[in-house]
Structure 1
């Protein structure tokens, strides 16, 4: 199984990097095009790019990636687009969690793993422009391999037509892979992005999936690529539509409170945050998703 997946690992890793490049270019172009309206007198935002490394227990190469963060732009207050390809051996806690959640036997005997993916979170200057999250990933062990990811919208000021438009694009990219896919993965997102201690959802949903391993790797990879392709098509029109909407101090306050909810979810419940910190990945890259400012009432 190891040799069989060498080419597939390389293809998946290259796709995530390509998607990263597309998104970074599109976001910087959005900054350049903000020539009137709020904050247009500021310099257009640019991504600061730094390499990240995963720390291994024995000092051996354990992979890494690129962390790309834009702060204080005309449109984006903070946005991070990270890609990584990491590998090595899972520690005891990660092995136990993997075995318990995935039901994978043999992890204690052979705890090797390989994981690659892209993770994005955008927090916006204008409270009327929704925050957004997207990630897709491939995970491999000698015992099983799978894809996961999703995309969800997190407005602090909700517009029903924006929610409908975002979901429509997700559905359009899911339907070619099976008409049951969108409703199933939408329901999964509604369940996954729920904040139990607040009794509410983090945002207005999207799609979420994990453990995607149908036995047809090519089909699973093609679906994961379409989830990535859907992102800019779903999100950029909403940014374009709302970025020049005037806002009030009350709107900004609403945004900061909602960001507090977002931070709570990511620190308490998000699996990616827990996995990244437990496996020794760069903490700054793992916590990139946190908003630049937030408040609690």
Structure 2
């Protein structure tokens, strides 16, 4: 059983790396191809890649990953595509949170964990081009394993046809796994990405799942892969279309205000942010999701 899990972990980690490479190449391609329209005269952006390291309480190696960030491009004002594979033992605070939320017995007696995933957040130069978030992950303990993640669209200026396209691509990629799955994960995203203190969603939704374990690892991994595969066809056409539009100061102001909402959600409610900081992962990588500029009114 241990060898089986080791193989599964290796496959999952390799998939997240491949997805990262595909997305980075596509985003750099957008920068290079933006030769007409706003900011077309600027230098095309490129990702700066750095390694992240996690150390355990005793100073031993506990995994790490790659942080890939592009700033100040023609199309992307700031975009991060991070991958990580971390392991070790959960601290007491994280153990209690995990046991309480997931109902996992035995965490105190054996708090070992392994986690791997990809996390992406893109903040755009053009206010008409939507910001976006995507992540998928696998988590393992000696007591349970599960997958999680999804993607959601965060435009500051909403276009109904963009929202429809984004959701249609999610449905197309999820339907092979069951016709009831997309409606379920869409409703989950609507609930998860809601900002209670503002009384509104942070964007126009998408799909989200957590604690996903049917007992069939291959089926659950295949679903997780298709959530990742849906991202580029759902998002790239929107950017290719909206990056050409002119904008004015009113549009930019609306973008900065919406980014404030996004920042509030990630700092107050996002589980991934909390888990990353609680388990000692690189703080810069964990907080990569924050926008370069934001505004509160």
State the TM-score bracket (shorter-chain normalisation): over 0.9
1-structure distance, mates of 2:236, 2:74: 15
Q: Deviations over 1:130-149 (max 9, x none)?
A: 00000000000000000000
Give secondary structure in 1 for the equivalent of 2:272: helix
Offset of residue 54 of structure 1: 1.1
Are the equivalent residues in 2 in contact too, given 1:2–1:142 (CA < 8 A)? no
Match runs of 1:117-128 below 5 Å = 117-128=117-128
Match runs of 1:76-225 below 5 Å = 76-225=76-225
Q: Which residue of 2 aligns with 1:46?
A: 46
Are the equivalent residues in 2 in contact too, given 1:113–1:140 (CA < 8 A)? yes
1-structure distance, mates of 2:189, 2:25: 28
2-structure distance, mates of 1:4, 1:83: 23
- In the superposition, the TM-score normalised over structure 1's length comes to 0.99
Q: Which residue of 1 aligns with 2:3?
A: 3
Q: Which residue of 1 aligns with 2:71?
A: 71
1-structure distance, mates of 2:103, 2:20: 32
- In the superposition, the TM-score normalised over structure 2's length comes to 0.99
Q: Deviations over 1:159-187 (max 9, x none)?
A: 00100000000000010000110000000
RMSD: 0.5
Offset of residue 3 of structure 1: 3.0
Give secondary structure in 2 for the equivalent of 1:62: strand
Offset of residue 2 of structure 1: 3.2
Offset of residue 4 of structure 1: 2.4
Aligned length: 297
1-structure distance, mates of 2:142, 2:240: 45
Q: Deviations over 1:2-47 (max 9, x none)?
A: 3320000000000000000000000000000000110011110000
Q: Deviations over 1:216-236 (max 9, x none)?
A: 100000000000000000000
Are the equivalent residues in 2 in contact too, given 1:147–1:212 (CA < 8 A)? yes
Aligned pair 1:242/2:242, yes or no?
A: yes
2-structure distance, mates of 1:141, 1:22: 29
Are the equivalent residues in 2 in contact too, given 1:154–1:204 (CA < 8 A)? yes
Structure 2, unaligned runs of 5 or more: none
Are the equivalent residues in 2 in contact too, given 1:277–1:286 (CA < 8 A)? yes
